[in-house]
Amino acid sequence: MMTGAEYIESLRRLKPELHFMGQRVESVVDHPAMRPHVNSAAATYDLATNPETAELGSAVSHLTGRRINRWTHIPQDREDLVKKVKMLRAVGQVTGTCFQRCVGMDGFISTYSVTFEMDRKHGTDYHERFKRFLVETQDADLMTAGAMTDPKGDRSKRPGEQHDPDLFVRVVERRPDGVVIRGCKLHQTGAVNSHQFLVMPGQGLVESERDYAIVCAVPVDAPGVIMVFGRQVNDSRKWEGKVDQGNPTYGVVGGEAMVIFEDVFVPNARIFMNGETDFAGLLVDRFASYHRQNYGACKSGNLDVLVGATASLAEMHGVLKAGHVRDKLAEMGHLVETMYGGALACSHECTNLGCGTAFVDPLQANVSKLNVGRYYPEVTRLAQDIAGGFIATLPSEQDLESPRVGDYIRKYYQTQEDVPAEARIKLGRLVENMTGSTPIVECMHGAGSPQAQKVVIQRQLDWGARMKMARRVAKVGGKGNP
């Protein structure tokens, strides 16, 4: 397994085509807009190799018996799923932001089980191919970006009905030795600092959409792969200094990018679905359940940091013991633990699939993610409430260092005699960073928008059984479903 430092050095050997703000980026490691996201992903490597945290961050491969990074592990039982949740919260507490490896991890887990079932039905050999690829990934300790979200175009139309067929990633040529793919994936977390992509369909498909049923692995620097790094609110602060960033080491969210596949060749050894439309929806559903499991864990870890920043500011302001502040902090803690409890619940209520993989309870996973979409914004609102209005009007780091006005800023932003103004300003910027629009949009729409969770909940709940319970208790007859 690699350490965080070794992971960072491994990125220097890659030569992807990467663009940001109209310029070609030569080194993702050295670019100030991207280095914080590199550091955040590096924390996942350090968690696995640090003896104090290795029990959470690493696992024993069921394929080789070798110790591997848990981000490349296929969970075999309830304990594996629970450790996955605890690992996510632990890294969230270290970074205070997204650490980017979850989509690839959940793509691995889902593809492992779906290829097993495809082979049983269709007589293909995708599962053995995938196992070989997975062992290579485990042994090299590679970071994989899961690539699922297509541009989608007109949402009222299916992939095959779009005015431009490339609005969903598709196969444009099949050869004896592989395929050529074309299209784009948007909002790709951790794309620019990964080693490879796992490309997956983003929705269920019908038989006529065979070209869109493609699952494959692609190196980030393969010919024809083009990445465009996305802008974030206040991102120019990353190259203006440290104080105004709020989280200068680890950044905001996951450094999402647009990933273009311009006629990219994929060899057969890296293809794990090729036209089997009847399994596309199953893959998406399984992925969604695993990924929604994560949100109650990673977001509770992030919010542990926010709660700590909020309480620290309340202490600096001399209001930590005020009744209304204590009540709001308690509510923040309650909401955070509720999110975490949902992630644990869907893990504990797991089952095992035919291939042996432990599968989270999909109902509880979707309930957990829906709670995150509701509760995360409320925790950020309470943080802003307690922190106060100064976080929205702070002078810049350059003014803080100004020989003319810097001392005035320190004088008038100081609260208590033993609390330097810089400490208050840094915590204020951290709260601003963690409660801005980017984290809230990501927690709302990452792993599927709230309506997606409601659809699954509607489908998973046994409404008839519940109605029968009520009629039995009330001693009435009748039948029906909503």
Q: What is the pLDDT of residue 272?
A: 98
Can you tell me the mean pLDDT for 287-303? 95
Cβ pair 444, 377 in contact under 8 A: yes
CA pair distance 19, 31, nearest whole angstrom: 11
- Please report, in angstroms and rounded to a whole number, the separation of the first and last CA atoms in the chain: 52
pTM above 0.85, yes or no: yes
Place of tokens 């840094």: 426
Please say if the pLDDT value at position 49 is more than 70.
yes
For a pLDDT cut of 70, what percent of the chain falls above it?
99
Mean pLDDT of the chain: 95
Query: Does the annotation count 443 as an active-site position?
Result: no
Residue among 291, 350, 432, 443 flagged as catalytic: 291
Residue 481 confidence class, pLDDT cut points 50, 70, 90: low
Residue 479 confidence class, pLDDT cut points 50, 70, 90: low
Q: What is the pLDDT of residue 480?
A: 57
Please say if the pLDDT value at position 482 is more than 70.
no
For the stretch 389-438, pLDDT in tens is 999 999 999 999 999 999 999 999 999 999 999 999 999 999 999 998 77
Query: Does the annotation count 350 as an active-site position?
Result: no
Please say if the pLDDT value at position 246 is more than 80.
yes
Please say if the pLDDT value at position 74 is more than 60.
yes
CA pair distance 411, 461, nearest whole angstrom: 59
Reading phi first (left if > 0) and then psi (alpha if -120 to 50, else beta), residue 14 is in: beta
Can you tell me the mean pLDDT for 175-179? 98
Q: What is the pLDDT of residue 439?
A: 77
For the stretch 2-15, pLDDT in tens is 999 999 999 999 99
Query: Does the annotation count 161 as an active-site position?
Result: no
CA pair distance 364, 368, nearest whole angstrom: 6
Query: Does the annotation count 412 as an active-site position?
Result: no
What does residue 259 show for φ and ψ, rounded to 5 degrees?
Answer: -120, 120
Task: Quote helix, strand, coil % in the chain, to nearest 5.
Answer: 55, 15, 30
Rounded to 5 degrees, what angle do the CA atoms 325, 327, 330 make? 110
Residues facing residue 228 across a β-bridge: 19, 258
Q: What is the pLDDT of residue 440?
A: 78
Query: Does the annotation count 442 as an active-site position?
Result: yes
CA pair distance 143, 193, nearest whole angstrom: 8
CA pair distance 8, 35, nearest whole angstrom: 10
Least confident of 214-228, 234-248, 394-408: 234-248
Residue among 45, 137, 187, 298 flagged as catalytic: 298
Q: What is the pLDDT of residue 448?
A: 78
Cβ-proximal residues to 314 (8 Å cutoff; 6+ apart), any chain: 320, 322, 325, 329, 386, 387
Q: What is the pLDDT of residue 232?
A: 85
Residue among 295, 340, 375, 376 flagged as catalytic: 295
Please say if the pLDDT value at position 121 is more than 90.
yes
Query: Does the annotation count 295 as an active-site position?
Result: yes
Residue 180 confidence class, pLDDT cut points 50, 70, 90: very high
Residues in the chain, overall count: 482
Query: Does the annotation count 79 as an active-site position?
Result: no
What does residue 30 show for φ and ψ, rounded to 5 degrees?
Answer: -100, -5
Q: Which domains does the chain have, with CATH numbers?
A: 283-470 (1.20.140.10)
Please say if the pLDDT value at position 52 is more than 80.
yes
Q: What is the pLDDT of residue 184?
A: 98
Residue among 45, 49, 256, 310 flagged as catalytic: 256
Secondary structure (DSSP) of 134-158:
HHHHHHHT--EEEE-----SSTTS-
Please say if the pLDDT value at position 319 is more than 60.
yes
Residue among 7, 37, 102, 310 flagged as catalytic: 102
Residue among 380, 438, 442, 443 flagged as catalytic: 442
Query: Does the annotation count 189 as an active-site position?
Result: yes
CA pair distance 166, 152, nearest whole angstrom: 9
Place of tokens 């609390």: 419
Cβ-proximal residues to 213 (8 Å cutoff; 6+ apart), any chain: 201, 205, 273, 274, 275, 276, 277, 279, 280
For the stretch 437-474, pLDDT in tens is 777 788 777 777 888 888 888 889 888 888 889 888 98
Between 257 and 234, name the one with better pLDDT: 257
